[in-house]
Amino acid sequence: MEISTLAMYHCLAFVWYFFVAYSITHIRTEERPSEVFLYGGQWKYLTVLNLFLQAVFYGVSFLADVLRLIKKLRCAKCIISSRDLLFSVLAFPVSTFVCISFWTLYTYNRELVYPKSLDGVIPLWLNHAMHTAVLPFALLEILALPHRYPAKKKGLILLGFVAFLYISWVLWIYSVTGEWVYPLFTLFSPFGLAGFFAGSLAIIISFYSFGEFLNRMIWGQFKF
C-alpha cells in the first residue's frame, strides 16, 4: 500500500477500536446480569483488554505512517520498531486467540463464556466487533505491510510474561471475590485449571508462530 493509504487505514482502524472500547466500557452497571460481578470492572476480561491493545497498536501505526509522510525517518524508525513488536508479540496472537477460543467455546456451550443474559445488555454488533472482527483486522494488517518479528526467544518470553500477568490478575480477582472471571473456570480442579492455562498458553504461542509464518510467506525476509 501507499503510505498515505496506510495512514488512512490505520487512522480508521484506531477510531473504530476506540469507539468499540468506549462502547463496551460505558455500558451502564445497573444493566449488568446477576452473573457478572463488579470487581475489576471490564478490565478483568481479555476481550476488553484486547480492544485497548488494538487501539494502542493502530494509534502507534498511524503515528509511524505520519512520520514517514513528513520525512521524519529517524523518529519513524523507532516508532516502527515499537509497532512491529506490538503487532508480532501481542496484537496478532491475542486477537486470533480471542476470536477462535471465544467462538469455539460459544459453539460448545455459550454459558461458559458469554451467558445468554448478556444478549439483553450487549448488542449483537458489539459482540461481533469484540469477538469476530478482531481476526480479519489482524489478517488484513499482515497483508497490508511487512512486520519485523523479534528473535524467537525474545518474542516468546515477552508473550509468556504478558500471559503470566493476565493469569495472575484472574487469580487475584478470584482470591478477592471468590468468583471466576469466566464461568468456564468453575469446571476445573486446581490441577485442571493449571492444565487449561498451560494449554491456552501453548495455543497462543502457536498463533504467534502462525503470524510469523504468514508474514514470512507473504513478504519474505526484508530490511527497512
* Per-residue model confidence as pLDDT tens digits over 117-127: 888 888 999 99
> What is each CA distance from 101 to 46, 49, 60, 87, 104, in whole angstroms?
11, 15, 27, 19, 5
d(CA 189, CA 193): 6
Quick one: CA dihedral 62, 43, 20, 210, positive or negative? positive
pLDDT at 93 over 60: yes
**Once rounded to an integer, what is the mean pLDDT over residues 215-219?**
92
Q: Is the dihedral of CA 42, 16, 134, 147 positive or negative?
A: negative
43 lies in some domain: yes
For the segment 28-58, what is each residue's pLDDT rounded down to a tens digit? 655 555 555 567 778 899 999 999 999 999 9
Alpha helices in 70-151 (DSSP H): 73-86, 92-109, 124-131, 134-144
What is the extent of the structural domain holding 202? 3-219
Q: Which pLDDT score is estimated for 72? A: 77
Domain assignment of residue 224, yes or no: no
pLDDT at residue 26, as a whole number: 78
Residue 116 forms part of a structural domain? yes
d(CA 52, CA 126): 15
d(CA 176, CA 37): 12
Tell me which residue has cell 525517518.
73
Residue 14 pLDDT: 97
pLDDT of residue 27: 75
Long-range contacts at 6-9 (CB < 8 A, ≥ 24 apart): 6/61, 6/65, 6/144, 6/145, 7/62, 7/65, 7/66, 7/69, 9/144
Would residue 147 count as lying in a domain? yes
Residue 203 located in a structural domain: yes
Residue 224 pLDDT level (bands cut at 50, 70, 90)? very low
How many residues make up the chain in this entry? 224
Per the CB < 8 A criterion, the answer to whether 176 and 168 are in contact is no
CB atoms within 10 A of CB 22: 11
17: nearest Cα among 119, 114, 94: 94
Flag whether 33 is in a domain: yes
> For the chain, what is the domain count?
1
36 belongs to a structural domain = yes
In 3-state terms, what secondary structure has residue 171? helix
